[in-house]
């Protein structure tokens, strides 16, 4: 008897992103087993979670979670994807053996050693974490009314921030196009039309419930209802990663305390750390990055740079956001992992990696 082709066995499933982790771990048998299930919190199916891998051909991961349940109900897909991306298979086993949770936070700035070296010509530094509030769906599954509720709640919290964190909230709805474009060009605001976010269901009811908070200096910012309910961001010109981290940790602590006073808490578990819609953000949800020109590395090739960075737990990107092409020779270098390491460990990896890459950049120029 003739063998049915793979996609037929999988009930017609064809995954366009051939090299994605979704394709790697979603066997036809697993797909058949999970495809009719709907999650309790948001009624999400596996097909909705994997829409990016199925419909786009450029995904490295290709799967999003619409609520905390997805990570449990579709665990047979998410777990190997998470272990593969964050490189934590062994770490997970070690921690389990020691009776420890996989994710352990450390936001103590005093534990950082050194900083970016003075000779590295960093244009700007930015560190963000994602956070989502318990009781509401993650961005791919959140309802319109929940999204508006999160926005209302955050407006109240923003009004209570003090000192250098004090500022104003600017909703996207009604924002003048020029203002919006300027904020995007200056790297402060997210933009509409990211194909991943669209297919992931994260641009429903745009621009309703979205917005940006920032302090007067635009060094402390919070995005509301983009890929996560909250992206808490600290950024500044120059290379002082330690100072940037210090402001971020204060901001996170203040927001968390104000939420707690309002009877709310972040979605969190010891196994996954802070929950996020994208499995690459699980754990700390933190990405600390610097913008730095690397003309010699650029000549050598982006793939070479990617490989070298990878060895040090660092990821190079273009400087206009993840899904944007850029050939300026200026790179966004950030910590690659977010889960299985503490915030301090990840920032340390980034600092050490950037110093090393710059040393090599100079050597390449000789």
287 near ligand ADP, rule: CB under 6 A: yes
Contact partner at residue 24 from ligand ADP, Mg ion, none, CB < 5 to 8 Å by partner kind: none
Query: Could you tell me where the DSSP H helices lie in 186-240?
Result: 195-199
Q: Name which position in 156, 216, 304, 322 contacts ligand ADP (CB under 6 A).
A: 322
- What is the chain's alpha carbon radius of gyration, rounded to the nearest angstrom? 21
Annotated catalytic residue 280 = yes
Asked if residues 67 and 39 have their Cβ atoms less than 8 Å apart, the reply is yes
Which of Mg ion, ligand ADP, none does residue 126 bind to, with CB < 5 to 8 Å depending on kind?
Answer: ligand ADP
Contact range with ligand ADP by CB under 6 A, out of 41-49, 85-93, 124-132, 254-262: 124-132
Q: Which of 120, 350, 131 is closest to 245 using CA atoms?
A: 350
The answer to whether residue 215 forms part of the interface with ligand ADP (CB under 6 A) is no
Does the footprint of ligand ADP cover residue 280 (CB under 6 A)? no
Total number of residues that touch Mg ion (CB under 5 A): 1
Q: Which does 95 bind (CB under 5 to 8 A by kind): ligand ADP, Mg ion, none?
A: none
| Residue 42 designated active-site | no
Concerning whether 41 is annotated as a catalytic residue, the answer is no
Q: Is 322 known to be catalytic?
A: yes
Residue span binding ligand ADP (CB under 6 A) among the ranges 23-31, 107-115, 256-264, 316-324: 316-324
Instruction: Let me know how long the chain is.
Output: 366
Among 39, 42, 125, 315, binds ligand ADP (CB under 6 A): 125
Least spacing, CB of residue 223 vs Mg ion, in Å: 9
Angle at 274 between CA 273 and CA 275, to 5 degrees: 110
Q: Name the token pair of 214.
A: 């920032």
User: Which residue number places its CB atom closest to Mg ion?
Assistant: 322
Q: Is 128 a catalytic residue?
A: yes
CB contact set of 216 (below 8 Å; sequence gap of 6+): 166, 167
C-beta of 132: minimal distance to Mg ion in Å?
15
- Phi and psi at residue 164, to the nearest 5°: -70, -10
- Would residue 338 show up in a list of annotated catalytic residues for this protein? no
Q: Nearer Cβ to ligand ADP, position 207 or 321?
A: 321
Where would I find the beta strands (DSSP E) of 121-250? 124-131, 167-171, 211-215, 220-224, 230-237
For the purposes of burial, counting CB atoms within 10 Å of the CB of 62, is it exposed (0-12), middle (13-18) or buried (19 or more)? buried
CA–CA distances in Å: residue 144 to residues 63, 137, 175, 257? 22, 10, 19, 26
Contact yes or no for 251/286 (Cβ under 8 A): no
Q: Give least dist CB 162 to Mg ion, A.
A: 28
- Which residues, 163 to 192, sit near ligand ADP by CB under 6 A? 187
Q: Please, what's the b/e burial string for 318-349 (b: 16 or more CB within 10 A of its CB; e: otherwise)?
A: bbbeeeeeeeeebbbbbbbbbbbbbbbbbbbb
Minimum CB distance to ligand ADP smaller for 95 or for 126: 126
- In the window 331-350, what residues touch ligand ADP (CB under 6 A)? 332
Q: Which of 29, 76, 322, 359 is catalytic?
A: 322
Separation in Å, CA 248 to CA 41, 273, 287, 303: 31, 18, 12, 32
Binding site for ligand ADP (CB under 6 A): 124-126, 128, 187, 235, 287, 289-291, 317, 319-322, 332
Residues acting as catalytic residues: 128, 227, 231, 278, 280, 287, 317, 322
């Amino acid at each position: 008897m003739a063998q049915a082709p793979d996609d037929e066995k999988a009930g017609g499933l064809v995954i366009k992103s051939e090299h994605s982790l979704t394709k790697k771990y979603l066997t036809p048998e697993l797909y058949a087993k999970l495809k009719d299930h709907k999650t309790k919190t948001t009624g999400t199916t596996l097909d909705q979670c994997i829409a990016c891998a199925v419909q786009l051909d450029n995904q490295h991961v290709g799967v999003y979670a619409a609520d905390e349940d997805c990570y449990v109900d579709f665990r047979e897909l998410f777990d190997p994807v998470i272990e593969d991306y964050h490189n934590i298979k062994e770490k997970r086993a070690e921690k389990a053996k020691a009776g420890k949770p996989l994710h352990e936070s450390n936001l103590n700035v005093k534990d950082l050693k050194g900083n970016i070296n003075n000779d590295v010509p960093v244009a700007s530094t930015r560190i963000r974490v994602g956070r989502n509030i318990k009781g509401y769906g993650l961005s791919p599954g959140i309802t319109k009314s929940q999204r508006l509720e999160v926005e209302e709640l955050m407006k109240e919290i923003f009004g209570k921030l003090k000192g250098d964190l004090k500022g104003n909230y600017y909703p996207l709805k009604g924002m003048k196009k020029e203002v919006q474009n300027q904020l995007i060009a200056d790297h402060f605001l997210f933009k509409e039309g990211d194909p991943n976010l669209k297919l992931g269901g994260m641009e429903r009811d745009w621009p309703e419930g979205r917005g940006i908070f920032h302090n007067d200096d635009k060094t402390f910012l919070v995005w509301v209802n983009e890929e996560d309910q909250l992206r808490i961001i600290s950024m500044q010109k120059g290379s002082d990663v330690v100072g940037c981290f210090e402001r971020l940790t204060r901001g996170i602590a203040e927001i968390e305390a104000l939420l707690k006073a309002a009877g709310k808490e972040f979605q969190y578990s010891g196994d996954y750390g802070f929950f996020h819609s994208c499995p690459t953000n699980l754990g700390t949800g933190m990405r600390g990055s610097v913008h730095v020109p690397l003309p010699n590395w650029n000549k050598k090739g982006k793939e070479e740079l990617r490989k070298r960075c990878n060895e040090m737990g660092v990821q190079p990107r273009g400087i206009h956001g993840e899904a944007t092409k850029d050939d300026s020779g200026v790179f966004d270098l950030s910590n690659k992992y977010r889960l299985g390491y503490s915030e301090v460990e990840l920032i340390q990896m980034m600092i050490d990696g950037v110093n090393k890459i710059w040393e090599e950049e100079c050597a390449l120029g000789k």
